[in-house]
């Protein structure tokens, strides 16, 4: 039983609403599958700032380090836009990623058949799409030093530094190759080796790791700008894409939209194995806090629920149970259930966040 510990950090905006639906799903697994989770909750982002004057307290950081999996909702909102950079809600999330050393961020972009017409691309381009972007998450330009805004002569200069060590590149490349072996065995690595030294090193190290340990995996390289173009032109050419922190941030939003709605996409951020063999892990939807619809019951809980499915698979080695949950999501979509982000079909009335959650529980029951 227990020995499955989870820390829930619902955060800001729609975070708490979508996380409430995940709670129901977690409870369902306890009640109907006998898989108990030891769940605790805490604050992150603006919510933590309001309570403690910091987007992540040391105590919460310690809890996050101690559990098997952290589930995060979303952080940020207009209320916090004017805060000093060091206490902005996003810093809480970045601190979790950095201190837990969650270097491999898995962002699947999967197009559910029932939703293929929601994509801004043609159905034939996206139907059946199933790719994963592996984004390096703890280094690169989001963390590199020097950084800051300095004054030079009579004007200000904004500085950020792109910096990658060989070992940082090698470990995320390894994650991508391992993942590809469980899928279609293809990795495309993206950088800007034509203009950036860090890109040249990235390409060399990915190739070395491949040649040494993963010669069976098909590896290609692309400049990230061309990769963005190819993602829109014919995304099904890809299986696993591995790329750095900045390009991964951009490419994963673009890939997400191919599937029709940001409200559908989960993510897993994984680090090195802990003493119990499970990787350090944080799971979160790719969407943000959506302050414009927060508190109205309009948010789509599916991305957050599918993030929990990823936790079942990657943290708890419960791949079958993850599949059960994913099938339940697919079923409610096939049945025509839509939250407000997925409108456009004739005669469809949106369901609320909690109605969507309840329908998924119903589909889980039906699947037993």
Contact in structure between 366 and 331 (CB atoms under 8 Å): yes
From the list 142, 164, 214, 283, the catalytic residue is 142
Q: Give dist(CA 347, CA 368) in Å, integer.
A: 31
From the list 101, 213, 253, 358, the catalytic residue is 253
249 is catalytic: yes
Closer of 249 and 326 to Mg ion (Cβ): 249
- Cα–Cα distances in angstroms (integers) from residue 237 to residues 126, 217, 227, 240, 263, in the given order: 11, 15, 11, 10, 24
CB 246 → ligand IPM: shortest distance, Å?
9
* Of 42, 68, 244, 249, the one binding Mg ion by CB under 5 A: 249
The reply to whether 21 sits near Mg ion by the rule CB under 5 A is no
Q: Please, what's the b/e burial string for 21-52 (b: 16 or more CB within 10 A of its CB; e: otherwise)?
A: bbbbbbebbeeeeebebebeebbbbbbbbeee
Q: Which two structure tokens, joined as six digits, stand for 337?
A: 């259930």
> What residue ranges bind ligand IPM (CB under 6 A)?
90, 93-94, 249
CB 306 → ligand IPM: shortest distance, Å?
15
CB 297 → ligand IPM: shortest distance, Å?
23
280 is catalytic: no
Residue nearest to ligand IPM (CB): 90
Sorted by sequence, the CB contacts under 8 Å of residue 152 that are 6+ apart come out as none
Q: Give dist(CA 267, CA 324) in Å, integer.
A: 18
Closer of 21 and 249 to Mg ion (Cβ): 249
84 is catalytic: no
Chosen from Mg ion, ligand IPM, none, partner binding at 90 (C-beta under 5 to 8 Å by type): ligand IPM
182 is catalytic: no
The reply to whether 136 sits near Mg ion by the rule CB under 5 A is no
Q: Which residues are catalytic?
A: 142, 192, 225, 249, 253
């Amino acid at each position: 039983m227990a020995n499955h510990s989870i820390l829930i950090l619902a955060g800001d905006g729609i975070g708490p609403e979508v996380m409430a639906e995940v709670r129901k799903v977690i409870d369902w697994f306890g009640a109907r599958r006998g898989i108990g989770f030891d769940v605790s909750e805490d604050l992150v982002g603006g919510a933590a700032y309001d309570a403690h004057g910091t987007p992540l307290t040391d105590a919460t950081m310690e809890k996050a380090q101690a559990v098997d999996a952290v589930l995060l909702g979303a952080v940020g909102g207009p209320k916090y836009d004017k805060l000093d950079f060091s206490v902005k809600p996003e810093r809480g999330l970045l601190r979790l990623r950095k201190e837990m050393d969650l270097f491999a961020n898995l962002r699947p972009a999967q197009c559910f058949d029932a939703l293929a017409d929601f994509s801004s691309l043609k159905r034939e381009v996206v139907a059946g799409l199933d790719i994963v972007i592996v984004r390096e998450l703890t280094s690169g330009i989001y963390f590199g030093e020097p950084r800051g805004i300095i004054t030079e002569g009579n004007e200000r200069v904004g500085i950020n530094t792109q910096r990658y060590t060989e070992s940082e590149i090698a470990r995320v490349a390894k994650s991508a190759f391992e993942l590809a072996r469980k899928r279609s065995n293809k990795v495309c690595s993206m950088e800007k080796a034509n203009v950036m030294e860090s890109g040249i090193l990235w390409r060399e190290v990915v190739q070395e790791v491949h040649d040494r340990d993963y010669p069976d995996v098909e590896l290609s390289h692309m400049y990230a700008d061309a990769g963005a173009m190819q993602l829109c032109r014919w995304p099904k050419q890809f299986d696993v894409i591995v790329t750095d922190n900045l390009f991964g941030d951009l490419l994963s939003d673009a890939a997400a939209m191919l599937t029709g709605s940001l409200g559908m996409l989960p993510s897993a951020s994984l680090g090195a194995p802990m003493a119990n063999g499970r990787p350090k892990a944080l799971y979160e939807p790719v969407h943000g806090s959506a302050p414009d619809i927060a508190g109205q019951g309009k948010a789509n809980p599916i991305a957050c629920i599918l993030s929990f499915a990823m936790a079942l698979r990657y943290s708890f080695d419960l791949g079958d149970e993850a599949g059960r949950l994913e099938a339940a999501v697919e079923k409610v979509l096939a049945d025509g259930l839509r939250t407000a982000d997925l409108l456009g079909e004739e005669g469809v009335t949106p369901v609320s966040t909690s109605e969507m959650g309840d329908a998924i529980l119903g589909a889980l029951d039906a699947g037993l």
